[in-house]
Amino acid sequence: MNSLVLRKTALARDLTAKYAVAFTTGRFSPQQKPARLRRKGPVLWAALALLVLAADVLLAYLAWCAVDLVVG
């Protein structure tokens, strides 16, 4: 048990020393690359919204034609 406690303490010390340098440089991990902004996300959501809107308009037009055919 004493050996396990010493190993955990040594590991904690190693991790603290490793990430203390990383925090001062502004990066979380030395191997981690800075995050790039993904600009495609909102554009894809807008395109999907326009596609759904176009499908809705098409279905409304088809329903209008079907009602006109039945009534008229």
- Residue 5, pLDDT score: 60
Domain positions in the chain are: 1-34, 37-72
- Residue 41, pLDDT score: 79
Q: What is the mean pLDDT of each run of 10 residues along the chain (72 residues)?
A: 65 67 55 63 91 98 97 88
The rounded distance, in Å, linking the Cα atoms of 21 and 69 is 75
Tens of pLDDT, residues 39-56: 667 889 999 999 999 999
Whole-model pTM? 0.43
The rounded distance, in Å, linking the Cα atoms of 57 and 24 is 56
